Structure 1
Amino acid sequence: MENVSYEIFILTAFQDFGSKKEAYFCLSLISYMLIIIFNSSLVILIYNEKKLHEPMYIFLCNLLFCELVGSTSFYIKFMFDLQTDVHVISRSLCFTQMFFIYIYSSTEISILTVMAHDRYIAINAPLHYITIFSTTKVQKLIFVSWIYPIFMMSIGMMLSARLPLCGNEINRVYCNNWEIVKLSCTDTSSNNIYGFFVICTFLIPFIFIVYSYLKILSVCLSSSRSQKHKAFQTCLPHLVTLIFFLSSLLFELIGSRFYVKRITNAVTAFASLEFLTVPPLLNPLIYGMILPEIRKRVAHLFLKRKKQSS
């Protein structure tokens, strides 16, 4: 194949959407609007309510903001393509979208790790919680949770951007790094090694999360009924969020790295979208329904507005 520097990419997965594009557009628009409303509402609530200016809610605020970044980087381009017959994206916009989607996924893992550590300290060493999670430490944890993924993904994007390509068709509905690497005309060993290194570095937080919740479980088993209930209330949303996100991210990794003949392109496309659509939509609902302080503040706001209107 001829070595060409392509300035546009063609997103071929839209071909399987057929005549149902309008229905998918409406569904996507509703989903995106709900994500914006739910996540923004909780972020604003946590920001405005001084009683929620605690480490757990500050971390939650960052998690919800991260999901807004990931959803926006995907949905806007996706909905635009559903309304057109030519599904192309410029090289610069492709790498920009890819960068922010990967920032979302990697930062989400980092913040979930920090939240697991927060719950571990709160349940295993409650008397030292305020001392351990000082304002300075919370700021440092948030900074690292964002800056480390940005640094790692920036290197990955630079490695992919330098590759000469022999094609420009991406079998996805959004830009995917592995799909671009597969289009390269040259040896991609450095990209593969770095990709493996990145995956390994994010396995460490996963191991830490599992360890934290196992320790929490061991403490809960030897605690009183009221303490078990309190631990269950605070840890359940984190666990549900973690399971949803990791399972959907696993679908995307398997779908992008392994080709399975029995799975159609449409199924692969939808499976690869799960980590971008399901967690941002469900997480604010999960936290809003289960965390008692969030429920109280939401109920208080509704009652306040009801009194003002009457």
Structure 2
Amino acid sequence: MTYEEAADSLGGVMTNASGVTVLTLSGLNYTAGHRVALFSVTLLCYLMIWLVNIILILTIILDRSLHEPMYVFLCNLCLNGLYGTAGFYPKFLSDLLSSTRTISYAGCLLQSFVIHSSSGGDVSILTLMAYDRYVAICRPLVYRSVMSRQRVWALLSLSWLLPLFCMLMNTVTTSRYTLCGSTIHKLYCSNWLVTRLACSTSVAHSVVAYFNITFYAAHAFVIVWSYIHLLKTCLTSKENRSKFMQTCVSHLASLSLFALAVMLDLMYMRFGSSDFSAEFQNFMAVEILVIPPVMNPLIYGFKLTKVRNRILSYVNPPRKHPTFLGKV
């Protein structure tokens, strides 16, 4: 199903008063000779994202010893990465095969909703992982009761539903703008860039935007608070330091990659249109859709011992040596 078909199925929600129905994505300029090479690299990257994430997801699902909160959260982080990249790569690959790079207004809002709700989901799941490590290391005696099966699934449900709700409100208020332009200077759509095309802004959109900022600022506070307590606890015990190195370093690496991606995206929104080269602008635009989805499963797959050993057992299954019985 294309973005246009999916958006049309939503009815009249994604419409605007100006009558603009098609937007142009002008972030990519290339010659015809580079089209095949760029398509091949992009397709290879997308297939790599699917491969590494599916391997980790299936490893966690199939191994019952990995059905613990930390690994369940990790599995959902990978699923969310696949969800977010599905909002970009199919459309971008089709654009590379087309002579025009346009998208319907409804499809643009839908693409923005998928990509940015996935980013919000990353923040929520990474926050849950930080809190899980805090309880496991700082309060180990109550870990099973605090991170019970019912609570884990409730928290996971919220980590999916709340970002979807936040971005739905943002998308609905954005769709009500009257547009005075039709060109988006990026490889994909974002509500912020659509807002820049609006003839005027609305109070409702500003309220939703500030609510979302406050909501995710609270996530950042929980992460910082968790790591302050984790570091304090690790200073008191060699065993806790070992647990921190085994499970928190990979989480910190994922947080760092995501923070870098968000910073580059903010730089793009603030400076990208004028102060940087086209190549660096494109890198800033897509880094959040390339580096974290590829690196997260690799980081956790190599760093977490139980996951690494299980994957290696699939790749290199232990050989059974035959037993020969003979007469004496």
| TM tier relative to shorter chain | over 0.9
Q: Distance in 2 between matches of 1:303 and 1:234?
A: 24
Residues 77-226 of structure 1: pairs in structure 2 closer than 5 A: 77-224=91-238, 226=239
Q: 1:126 to 1:18 in 2, by over 3 A?
A: farther
Which residue in the other structure is 1:266 paired with?
Answer: 279
The Cα offsets for residues 109-164 of structure 1, whole Å up to 9 and x where unpaired, read as: 00000000000000001121111111110011001101111111111000011111
5+ long unaligned stretches in structure 2: 1-16, 321-328
State the one-letter code of the partner of 2:151: K
Is the CA contact 2:137–2:243 (under 8 Å) kept in the aligned structure 1?
A: no
Superposition deviation, residue 19 in structure 1: 4.7
Q: Distance in 2 between matches of 1:210 and 1:253?
A: 21
Q: 1:10 to 1:35 in 2, by over 3 A?
A: same
Which secondary structure does the structure 1 equivalent of 2:153 belong to?
A: helix
Superposition deviation, residue 276 in structure 1: 1.0
Which secondary structure does the structure 2 equivalent of 1:185 belong to?
A: coil
Q: Distance in 1 between matches of 2:197 and 2:109?
A: 14
Q: Distance in 1 between matches of 2:44 and 2:28?
A: 19
Deviates more, 1:112-121 or 1:4-13: 4-13
The Cα offsets for residues 144-194 of structure 1, whole Å up to 9 and x where unpaired, read as: 101111111111000011111111100011011111111112334432342
State the one-letter code of the partner of 1:137: R
State the one-letter code of the partner of 2:39: F
Deviates more, 1:131-140 or 1:3-12: 3-12
Q: Distance in 2 between matches of 1:278 and 1:37?
A: 14
Q: Which residue of 283, 287, 292 maps to 1:279?
A: 292
Superposition deviation, residue 246 in structure 1: 1.3
Q: Distance in 2 between matches of 1:219 and 1:42?
A: 30
Q: Distance in 2 between matches of 1:157 and 1:62?
A: 24
Q: Distance in 2 between matches of 1:96 and 1:305?
A: 47
Which secondary structure does the structure 1 equivalent of 2:274 belong to?
A: coil
Which secondary structure does the structure 1 equivalent of 2:23 belong to?
A: strand
5+ long unaligned stretches in structure 1: none
State the one-letter code of the partner of 1:301: Y
User: Does 2:74 match 1:54?
Assistant: no
State the one-letter code of the partner of 1:211: W
State the one-letter code of the partner of 2:245: F
Q: Distance in 1 between matches of 2:35 and 2:225?
A: 44
Is the CA contact 1:16–1:266 (under 8 Å) kept in the aligned structure 2?
A: no
Superposition deviation, residue 59 in structure 1: 0.6
Structure 1 length-normalised TM: 0.93
Which secondary structure does the structure 1 equivalent of 2:103 belong to?
A: strand
Q: Distance in 2 between matches of 1:205 and 1:190?
A: 23
Superposition deviation, residue 16 in structure 1: 5.6
Which residue in the other structure is 2:5 paired with?
Answer: none
Deviates more, 1:69-78 or 1:23-32: 23-32
Q: Which residue of 23, 41, 45 maps to 1:27?
A: 41
Which residue in the other structure is 1:297 paired with?
Answer: 310
Q: Distance in 2 between matches of 1:270 and 1:188?
A: 31
Q: Which residue of 243, 253, 256 maps to 1:230?
A: 243
Is the CA contact 2:185–2:273 (under 8 Å) kept in the aligned structure 1?
A: no
The Cα offsets for residues 251-293 of structure 1, whole Å up to 9 and x where unpaired, read as: 1123124456331233212201111110000010000000011
RMSD: 1.9
Q: Distance in 1 between matches of 2:200 and 2:315?
A: 60
Is the CA contact 1:168–1:183 (under 8 Å) kept in the aligned structure 2?
A: yes
Larger Rg: 2
Q: Distance in 1 between matches of 2:314 and 2:140?
A: 30
Which secondary structure does the structure 1 equivalent of 2:265 belong to?
A: helix
Q: 1:223 to 1:162 in 2, by over 3 A?
A: same
Is the CA contact 1:102–1:153 (under 8 Å) kept in the aligned structure 2?
A: yes
Structure 1: 4+ residue segments shifted above 6 A: none
Q: Distance in 2 between matches of 1:53 and 1:153?
A: 30
Is the CA contact 2:233–2:240 (under 8 Å) kept in the aligned structure 1?
A: no
Aligned residue pair count: 305
State the one-letter code of the partner of 1:27: V
